[in-house]
Chains A and B, each alone.
Chain A
Amino acid sequence: MAAITRVWRIPLVRHGVLGLLALVVMIFVLSQLSPFRNAQMATMAYLAIAAGGLTVLTGLSGQLSLGHGAFLAVGAYTSAYLLKDGDPPFPLVVVMLVSVVITVVVGAVVGVAAARLKGPYVAGATLALAVAVPALVRYAGGLGQEQGLHVVVPDVPRWFDDTIWQITGVDVDPTSYVAYLGWIALIVSYVLLANLMRSRTGRNWRALRDNDVAAEIAGITLGRSRVLAFVVSTAAAGLAGAVMALAVRVAAPSGFPVDLSLTLISAVVLGGLGSLTGALLGAALLTFLPQAVTSWGTSAGLSDVQAAELAPVVYGLIMMAVILLAPAGVVGSLRQLWQRRRGLV
């Protein structure tokens, strides 16, 4: 028993096992869902991946980016460009990896510039980026301008369909294929991010966030550490963009408004700043709440247009309430409660 506890204490083992468990549960859940629910699950997957990256940036290293929608756009456009004929030069996984790599290159350039800046100045620069990227896409040739690029999702590979059929007895249709891909990407990225957060790098980020001067004296290079956080979070955003392109089936400038970036921040805040579970919870709220609130609004006598605006009101209010009442977020507050009951605090 003691040996198992000791092995379980190793983050790599723990996260790996949890990831595998999540993978199995995910396969069974997704196979039972209707196409509509599967589409929602795909949406949740890309919001959660992007929110996970933002958790690292904002929650751990303390930099606020108001422009992560721009990085999603880079990832989505890369995927869309490679998939526009439905006949990519390489497998879909490689398409997603290429999207990540290109986004990381862009993110590194922005991160180097942002590392020199503090608080509101980073926010300002990234906000300008969030507006500039969609406008640039409209202006540039070869990216479909206002209509954007149409994404053709490749056929479900035979081996993938066979494997899932053998496990669950249900065939994979194109909609659930995207949901499977999105959730596999989500689980893989969360395992990687969770390990990173528990590593020396993660500790460095937390040290920088809490007191940058003390961290520097302790030998942490401020600039390098900040750029690294930015790069990691943009890698997640690039992956999220690739999944988004597959889920939405189009990459167009109107899909990346400033609201998208703000939505991602609210996902990070709703669940609790600095916790991946929180980011997942926030993404789930953002995916499933609007529908519930909108139907509640129409039944309460609002017009369709008005009811559609009700969801942002609700999650804006939740965001403010979380900051005012439980700054540690839902997950953080529960954790504090649990620790207090165990007498740890």
Chain B
Amino acid sequence: MQQFFTTLLAGLTLGAVYAAFALALCLIWRSTRVVNFAQAPMAMVTTYVALEVIDHTGSYWFGFAVALLAGLVLGAVVERGLVRFVEGKSDLNVVILTLGLFVVLHSLAAIVFGQDYKSFPAPFGLRGLHVAGHDIAITGFGIFTLIAVAVVFGLLVALFRFTDLGLKMRASAFSPEVARLLGVRVGKMLTLGWALAAVVGSLAGLLVAGGNLVFPQFMDSVVVYGFVAAVLGGLDSPAGSVVGGLVLGLALSFVSGYAASDLVPITALGILVLVLLVRPGGLFSHVAERRV
């Protein structure tokens, strides 16, 4: 029973990280119909920025804020400086562009920050909590992870549902021409979409890094599983991203806890194939009309 709860809680925290990452992918997909493969290296870079700031100032939260800000700037720069030029061209071009960025950022980080492992601080305890004489297998940082992802999800839903800005962003993604005719600055909305996504991505990076080791490849598993989570939920739906992330996190945690950790990737593949065979557009997809 103890092991069951340990695995469950570990799975939830892991799932929350995947969910955050999937949310970032989903944001970009909704605003520009692009899967940003460079999301993870971008988050890796901002996490390194946070580490440098923390090392110099000694304040975790200052580093945290700087990393999110760096994400905002990086996301905007990537959209305005690179992605803008291939918009409207073949889908493949954008994907290859982000893959190129993936490779470049990865290797640049190894040159600038070094290949060695550096430990990243965590703002909360990393030991299991002690409540009423019982050990609970969730750490302070784990709770922080869950709350942070829930808050981000809430904010995004609020943004898209209840604000003018969110409405404009949805309009520019849904139909750029019509939105432009109605006076929406579509270009600005796309830049904003990328910037916000990069902020969410950097948050995922900080959550993965907290209390762990940071090295240029530390986000690599999140690339795969975050992407699988987003595809699982249907790239269009933020709720799908969160559900996909949590489902995947729990499943993988149980497989590595009760079977073998080498079976984790094949489980992810299995779940993905199963879901996509039943619903080729992901769990939360709805049938879309196709324009001929």
Complex CA gap A327/B281 in Å reads 29
In this assembly, does B184 line the interface, its C-beta being within 8 Å of a C-beta of chain A? Answer: no
Taken residue by residue from 58 to 77, chain B's Cβ proximity to chain A (1 for < 8 Å, 0 otherwise) reads as 00000000000000000000
Complex CA gap A258/B90 in Å reads 24
Shortest beta-carbon distance, A317 to chain B, in Å? 6
Q: In the complex, which of the residues A117, A139, A302, A315 contacts B276, with contact meaning CB atoms closer than 8 Å?
A: A117
If A64-B92, A117-B276, A266-B99 touch, does A127 touch B292 (CB 8 Å cutoff)?
no
Q: For window 107-143 of chain A, which residues contact chain B by CB distance below 8 Å?
A: 113, 116-121, 123-125, 127-129, 131-132, 134-136, 138-139
Main secondary structure of the interface of A (DSSP, over half): helix
In this assembly, does B48 line the interface, its C-beta being within 8 Å of a C-beta of chain A? Answer: no
In this assembly, does A169 line the interface, its C-beta being within 8 Å of a C-beta of chain B? Answer: no
If A113-B277, A124-B231 touch, does A136 touch B103 (CB 8 Å cutoff)?
no
Complex CA gap A113/B115 in Å reads 38
| Number of interface residues, chain A, beta carbon within 8 A | 46
If A121-B280, A128-B269 touch, does A316 touch B100 (CB 8 Å cutoff)?
yes
Complex CA gap A258/B281 in Å reads 24
Taken residue by residue from 56 to 80, chain A's Cβ proximity to chain B (1 for < 8 Å, 0 otherwise) reads as 0010001010000000000000000
Kindly specify which of A93-101, A158-166, A177-185, A306-314 makes contact with the partner chain.
A306-314
Please tell me if the beta carbons of B276 and A113 are within 8 angstroms of each other in the complex.
yes
Q: In the complex, which of the residues A62, A113, A135 contacts B263, with contact meaning CB atoms closer than 8 Å?
A: A135
Shortest beta-carbon distance, A242 to chain B, in Å? 24
Residues in A with CB closer than 8 Å to B269 are 125, 128-129, 131-132
Select from chain B the residue with minimum beta-carbon distance to A130.
Answer: B224
Please tell me if the beta carbons of A317 and B100 are within 8 angstroms of each other in the complex.
yes
In this assembly, does B177 line the interface, its C-beta being within 8 Å of a C-beta of chain A? Answer: no
Q: In the complex, which of the residues B92, B107, B111, B280 contacts A316, with contact meaning CB atoms closer than 8 Å?
A: B107
Total A-B contacts with CB atoms under 8 angstroms apart: 140
Shortest beta-carbon distance, A47 to chain B, in Å? 16
Complex CA gap A138/B260 in Å reads 11
Shortest beta-carbon distance, A137 to chain B, in Å? 9
Please tell me if the beta carbons of A262 and B99 are within 8 angstroms of each other in the complex.
yes
Please tell me if the beta carbons of B93 and A323 are within 8 angstroms of each other in the complex.
yes
In this assembly, does A305 line the interface, its C-beta being within 8 Å of a C-beta of chain B? Answer: yes
Please tell me if the beta carbons of B227 and A127 are within 8 angstroms of each other in the complex.
yes
Please tell me if the beta carbons of A123 and B95 are within 8 angstroms of each other in the complex.
yes
Complex CA gap A323/B95 in Å reads 10
In this assembly, does B290 line the interface, its C-beta being within 8 Å of a C-beta of chain A? Answer: yes
Most buried by A among B103, B260, B277, B281: B103
Taken residue by residue from 290 to 326, chain A's Cβ proximity to chain B (1 for < 8 Å, 0 otherwise) reads as 0000000000001001100111110111011001100
- Could you list 5 A-B pairs, sorted by A, with CB under 8 Å? A125-B231, A128-B265, A132-B265, A138-B262, A265-B99
